[in-house]
Structure 1
C-alpha cells in the first residue's frame, strides 16, 4: 500500500501533503482536511517509526494461496483459520493479503487470536481496503485488542454475559452499507452481545467506502482497579472517530491488555449474514506500538 499513501509520519509530526514547505522533505505540520478522510492515508515508515513492537506485512511472501498454517505462522496465533479464500497479491506497490468471502456464505474469511505480553496501554493498527464489489451485507467482524483473565476459560465474545473480571474485547464491525461501529464486550456492557458504538466523523455516523484505503488505529488504556476510567479510542486515517473514557475492562486489575483478535468475516450466526456475491478485501501492516502512528497525541 505504500505507494497509495499521500501523507508522511516523521518523528512526532503527521505530515499533511499538498501545501508549501520550508523543509527539504516537503513537511507541512498543519492539520489534514477532515473532508479527505476517505482519500488521504497517513504514511507510516514501519521500519523506523518510534514505538513499534511488532509489524506484520506480507512483503516476504510469494504470490498465491494463503493457508491457515501461513496465517498462524505469520501472526504467531494461538488459534486461527482461513475459512474463506485468501491470497497474497501484488497491489499498489506492495504485497497484500486478499481475503475473499464466497457468495452465499457467512463466517468465511480469516479469524485468529494470540496472546500478548500484558500492557496497561497499547496501540494496534492495520490497513484495509474493501474491494469494488464488496458486499457489506448485514455486517461482519474486524480486528481489535482484548484482555483475557488467565483463570477464566471462556473468551469475552459470542453473545454471552461477561461477569466481573471475565475479560474484555474491543473489536470493530462493518454494518449495512459499510457503517462502522465499535463492537465491545466489557464489564458494563448493556447488550447480550457486544455493545455497538458508532464511529462518528464530522458529527455523522461514519461508513466505509469501497475501493478506499483506511488505516485504522485503536488505542486502549486499562482502567485502574475498581475505577471506570479505562479508555478506548479509534482513529481512521488520522481522524478520531470513537472515544470512550469511562470503561471498566478489569474490575480488580487482574489482567491488562494481553490479546489480539485478527478477524474479517461476516456474521452473526445465521445465513441472513451471508454475502450475495464473492467479496474481497485487502489487508496489510498489522502493527502493535507504544506510540500512535497515524496521528499526534
Structure 2
C-alpha cells in the first residue's frame, strides 16, 4: 500500500501534494463535488472547484506541488505517477502558473511523438473515474492532432496492447484515450472489442449539439467515467465531461467479451501523432497539466 502524502492549501482550495497518493484499499471520504456552472456557455471559462484532499472517493491523486521549478525528467515522471513504463520524449518542466505548480510539456518544433507517454498498472475496477486538468498554451499548434490520457484494460495473457493501429481480438484488451484534432477539435479515441476502424474508433465530443473544440489558454478539467460490460453483453459505458458538462456518452460498448479482465491501466499521454511527420508541430508548443486523479465518485459533476 502506497503511503499517502501530506497535503497543503493552494489558492482557494485544497490540493493533494505532488506525487502518487494511492490507497486503493481505503478510499478517502468527504464532501462531494461542488456543482458545476449551469450556463453551458461557461464550458471554456469556469473550472469546477474540486477539494482534492477531501473529495469523496479519491484513491489516487498526482499534482506537482512538492516539485521544484525546473526540468522534469523521465525518472521523476515515473516516480510521481508510479508508472509501469514511461518516458519524457519531448521537453518537460515544472513551472508556477496561477499560484500552483504545473507540468509544462513542450513539443519541439518540427517533431511528432515528442511529449510524455506512460502506462500505469492499477488494481482492477469494474467502474472508475479518471480526471486531469489541461491548458493548451497561447502558441500551441494542434497540427493534425495528438493523444490525450485515458483508462484502459489490458489482458495480462496477451503480449500486445490495444493501441498502435492494432486489431483487437476477443478479450485482447481495450483503451479509451481521447485526442485533439485540427484546430483543437476533441474526440474520444477508443480501442474496444467492436471497433470498426484499423486504428481507434473516433467519436466527437459534442456540446450544445455541435462538435466541441479546445481553445488555447483555457483550463479544462476532463473527467472520464468507465463501467465494464457484463460478460457477453454490449453494455459497457464510457462518458466524458469537460468542466462539468457531458460531451460524450456511449453505453453499448464491449470492453471484455467474457469478463476476464477489468479496468486495470491508466495511459498518461500527450504527444502529436500519428506515425509520420505530417503530424509534426510547426513551432514549439506547450501545454500545462495538473491534478491527475482516480476516483470511485465523480469530482467535476454530480451523479
The TM-score normalised by the length of structure 2 is 0.90
Residue by residue over 1:58-115, the C-alpha shift from the partner in whole angstroms, topping out at 9 and shown as x without a partner, is 0000000000000000001111000101000111010100000000000000000011
For 1:291, what is the secondary structure of its paired residue? coil
Matched with 1:147 is 153
- Number of residue equivalences: 279
For 2:32 and 2:75, the matched residues in 1 are separated by 37
1:86 has 2:75 as partner: no
1:36 Cα deviation from its structure 2 partner:
0.4
For 1:145 and 1:119, the matched residues in 2 are separated by 11
Q: Which of the numbers 182, 185, 191 marks the counterpart of 1:179? A: 185
Matched with 2:218 is 212
From the superposition, tell whether residues 48 and 13 of structure 1 become closer, same or farther in structure 2 (CA, over 3 Å). closer
Instruction: Tell me if structure 2 keeps the 8 A contact 1:4–1:92.
Output: no
Q: Which of the numbers 95, 101, 105 marks the counterpart of 2:101? A: 95
Instruction: Tell me if structure 1 keeps the 8 A contact 2:32–2:55.
Output: no
For 2:175 and 2:105, the matched residues in 1 are separated by 23
1:150-229 aligned within 5 A: 150-229=156-235
1:267 has 2:287 as partner: no
1:11 has 2:31 as partner: yes
1:127 has 2:133 as partner: yes
For 1:206 and 1:80, the matched residues in 2 are separated by 30
RMSD: 1.4
For 2:137 and 2:204, the matched residues in 1 are separated by 22
1:32-111 aligned within 5 A: 32-111=38-117
Matched with 2:142 is 136
1:261 Cα deviation from its structure 2 partner:
0.1
From the superposition, tell whether residues 220 and 187 of structure 1 become closer, same or farther in structure 2 (CA, over 3 Å). same
The TM-score normalised by the length of structure 1 is 0.92
For 2:80, what is the secondary structure of its paired residue? helix
1:13 Cα deviation from its structure 2 partner:
5.2
Instruction: Tell me if structure 1 keeps the 8 A contact 2:33–2:55.
Output: no
For 1:153 and 1:290, the matched residues in 2 are separated by 29
Extract structure 1 runs of 4+ deviating beyond 4 A.
Answer: 2-5
The runs of 5 or more residues in structure 1 that have no matched partner are: 17-30
